[in-house]
Amino acid sequence: MTAVSHPPDDLLMAYGAGSLDELTAVLVATHLSLCPHCCAEVALVEAMGGALLEDLAPAEMADNALAAILKRLDEPAPRRVPVAPARSDRLPGPLSDYLPGGLQALAWKRLGRGIEQVVLLRRDAAKLRLLRIGAGVAVPAHGHRGTELTLVLRGGFTDLGRHYGPGDVAGADVATVHSPAADDGEACLCLAVTDAPLRLTGMLGRLINPFLDL
């Protein structure tokens, strides 16, 4: 399993710098456990931050400080998140810490035909949730009042002409109106973080919107 769609660079940098909010950090950490490519990027950011701190500690920077930092970037850096392929019956490491009882112990809530969710964490209007979308089911068309990041854990979905498989991250923002559809043949399990409620569009969306805890 190799992810082809990754979190944006600014999120990886914020994660490496330790400044990412907890909800997004859980999603990014889970992606990192599935993606050696992004692990290497984060390790680079961490190494760069460490090198800068070290070299900035004395008030003056030596003339060769930049060269020293660049040299250090060439050295292998420790990984924060171990890369281990997830066993098919288990959730990726960082996520399983939040779900000691596994998927079965969660109080899944039906959102619509073939769609279930469970909210794992909330911070103000932001939510981290698991979504389970039945095989071949399309999520009703909706827009966003903020940003949404969706990480595929199992199965896959197609959104706006692009396919996302396990480990892939899809992004949406206020300009996005979409109706992602799960692959045929297998339910799709996703981890999603939103920083504002969704905005359902279309007749179905307008009808059910007031009743949903989105």
Interface residues with Zn ion (CB under 5 A) are 3, 6, 35, 37-38
Q: Measured from the CB of residue 152, what is the shortest distance to Zn ion in angstroms?
A: 12
Distance CA 92, CA 86 (A): 5
Which is nearer to Zn ion, 2 or 64 (by Cβ)? 2
Which is nearer to Zn ion, 11 or 198 (by Cβ)? 11
HSE-up (13 A, CA, CB side) for residue 52: 7
Q: Measured from the CB of residue 44, what is the shortest distance to Zn ion in angstroms?
A: 13
**Please, are residues 123 and 21 in contact by the beta-carbon 8 Å criterion?**
yes
Which of 141, 152, 143 is closest to 112 using CA atoms?
141
Phi first, then psi: what are they for 177, rounded to 5°? -125, 120
Q: Measured from the CB of residue 161, what is the shortest distance to Zn ion in angstroms?
A: 21
Which is nearer to Zn ion, 35 or 192 (by Cβ)? 35
HSE-up (13 A, CA, CB side) for residue 87: 3
Which is nearer to Zn ion, 37 or 122 (by Cβ)? 37
Identity of the amino acid at 35: C
Q: Measured from the CB of residue 62, what is the shortest distance to Zn ion in angstroms?
A: 35
DSSP H or E stretch at residue 91: none
Q: Measured from the CB of residue 14, what is the shortest distance to Zn ion in angstroms?
A: 15
Which is nearer to Zn ion, 37 or 123 (by Cβ)? 37
